[in-house]
């Protein structure tokens, strides 16, 4: 009836391909943002190879590996939440979105402990201990804080976005016939995951 | 009518392929950690980047649905990756001559 008509007209005026294309274009700007930093990392690493190797030895590989597994699993849960809504399982989709946010939180908690330990060791920008080290050592930790910090900011933004998606799912704004918002949020979360896939070996595994 | 057709198509989505890709990603993570532990010298960084690239490929194609997306999406992503590689090559062609 009228609600059906409404749904039909909404269907007609929608452009899911365009929405997704817009999201991808935004992701390319993110790629430029992080790409510039990866280039900076590449050049400084090339110029200070041995310093980078020594500096990376103080990284906690266990926390890094755990966080990699957490982010990969959160990528799985957000991907599954889209499949769930496609299969008309609203509750399952909501739970999976909630789990994704929880994984993001656990990632950040690990990050907090990791940074606290580094700061405790005097490895923070401008610390007397760090300044006394070689230039490559200082650069490594500068890049480490900026790149993982910016990535952490993206995790926070992603969590907020997914929480909005949960609200939209509850309010039936995201439905089995109209879930492009959830797909866009998923794309963002996966990009954050891909950036971490490269950050992890470059900072933790180069000793 | 057209709407009903997409319906049927949509109710068939399976969770399986995502779980398989997730297990592959975790396995590759384990491999990259183990490989980094073995001292391979110059090869270490190359191995890490190659494994990270394989992982990104899996995330892009399956998790981000590029494998079922229309051609313009694939072309866009390939162009973006192409220009990143060009930038890297130009950058290092400069530095390697120093």
- Tell if the CB–CB gap between B76 and A190 is shorter than 8 Å: no
Give the largest Cα separation in chain B, rounded: 66
- Decide which of B42 and A157 is more confident: A157
B65 touches chain A (CB under 8 A): yes
User: In this complex, is the C-beta atom of A73 within 8 Å of any C-beta atom belonging to chain B?
Assistant: yes
| Contact by Cβ (8 Å): A44, A205 | no
User: From the CA of A120, how many Å to the nearest CA of chain B?
Assistant: 26
| Buried-state track A177-199, b at ≥16 Cβ within 10 A, e below 16 | bbbbbbbbbbbbbbbbbbbbbbb
**Tokens 């980078």, located at residue:** A52
* ipTM, interface predicted TM-score of the complex: 0.88
Residue A125: predicted pLDDT: 86
- Residues A143 and A204 sit within 8 Å (Cβ to Cβ): no
Closest CB to A197: pick one of B11, B55, B80. Answer: B55
Which chain B residues are Cβ-neighbours of A31 within 8 angstroms?
80, 84
Domain segments of chain A: what residues? 33-205
Mean pLDDT of A54-58: 87
Burial class (CB in 10 A: 0-12, 13-18, 19+), B16: exposed
* Residues in chain A closer than 8 A to B91 (CB atoms): 39, 42-43
| Contact criterion met (CB < 8 Å) for B3 and A11 | yes
Q: How big is the A-B interface in CB pairs under 8 Å?
A: 110
Residue of chain B with shortest Cα separation from A70: B26
Specify the higher pLDDT residue, A9 or A163: A163
Q: From the CA of A204, how many Å to the nearest CA of chain B?
A: 9
Mean pLDDT value of segment A62-89:
96
Per-residue pLDDT of chain B (98 residues; tens, 9 = 90+): 344 444 444 445 789 999 999 999 999 999 999 988 777 667 888 889 999 999 999 999 999 999 999 999 999 999 999 999 999 999 888 887 76
Q: Give the one of B10, B51, B72 whose C-beta lies nearest to A176's C-beta.
A: B10
Reading the block at residue A133, the tokens are 């080290």
| Residues paired with residue A175 on neighbouring β-strands, in sequence order | A178
pLDDT score, position A8: 52
The answer to whether the CB atoms of B26 and A72 lie below 8 A apart is yes
**Residue pLDDT, tens place only, A98-132:** 999 999 999 999 999 999 999 998 888 888 888 88
**Closest chain A C-alpha to B96 CA, distance in angstroms:** 9
Between chains, do B10 and A35 touch, taking CB under 8 Å as contact? no
Q: What would the DSSP string read from start to end of A22-74?
A: HHHHHHHHHHHHHHHHHHHHHHHHHHTHHHHHHHHTTS-HHHHHHHHHHHHHH
* Whether A39 contacts B87, CB under 8 Å: yes
pLDDT confidence of residue A2: 47
Confidence at residue B94, expressed as pLDDT on a 0 to 100 scale: 84
Q: Binning pLDDT at 50, 70 and 90, where does residue A6 land?
A: low
Cα–Cα distance for residue pair A193/A181, rounded to 1 Å? 19
CATH superfamily label, A33-205? Cytochrome c oxidase, subunit III, four-helix bundle (1.20.120.80)
| DSSP secondary structure, A59-112, as one string | S-HHHHHHHHHHHHHHHHHHHHHHHHHHTT-HHHHHHHHHHHHHHHHHHHHHHH
């Amino acid at each position: 009836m009228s609600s059906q008509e409404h749904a039909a007209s909404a269907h007609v005026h929608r452009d899911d391909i365009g929405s997704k294309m817009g999201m991808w274009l935004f992701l390319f700007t993110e790629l430029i943002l992080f790409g510039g930093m990866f280039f900076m990392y590449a050049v400084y690493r090339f110029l200070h190879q041995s310093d980078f190797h020594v500096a990376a030895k103080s990284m906690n590989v266990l926390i890094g590996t755990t966080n990699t597994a957490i982010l990969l699993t959160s990528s799985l849960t957000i991907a599954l939440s889209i499949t769930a809504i496609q299969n008309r399982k609203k509750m399952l989709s909501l739970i999976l979105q909630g789990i994704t946010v929880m994984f993001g939180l656990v990632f950040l908690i690990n990050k907090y402990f990791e940074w606290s330990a580094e700061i405790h060791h005097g490895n923070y920008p401008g610390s007397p201990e760090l300044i006394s080290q070689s230039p490559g050592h200082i650069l490594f930790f500068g890049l480490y804080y900026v790149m993982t910090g910016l990535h952490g900011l993206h995790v926070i933004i992603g969590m907020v976005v997914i929480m909005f998606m949960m609200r939209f799912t509850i309010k039936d704004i995201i439905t089995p016939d109209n879930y492009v918002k959830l797909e866009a949020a998923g794309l963002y979360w996966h990009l954050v995951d891909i950036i971490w896939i490269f950050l992890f070996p470059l900072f933790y595994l180069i000793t | 009518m057209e709407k009903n057709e997409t319906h049927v198509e949509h109710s068939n989505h399976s969770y399986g392929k995502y779980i398989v890709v997730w297990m592959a990603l975790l396995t590759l993570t384990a491999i990259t950690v183990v490989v980094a532990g073995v001292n391979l010298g110059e090869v270490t960084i190359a191995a890490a980047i190659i494994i990270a690239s394989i992982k990104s490929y899996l995330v892009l194609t399956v998790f981000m649905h590029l494998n079922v997306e229309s051609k313009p999406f694939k072309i866009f992503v390939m162009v973006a990756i192409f220009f990143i590689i060009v930038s890297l090559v130009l950058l290092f062609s400069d530095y390697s001559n120093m």
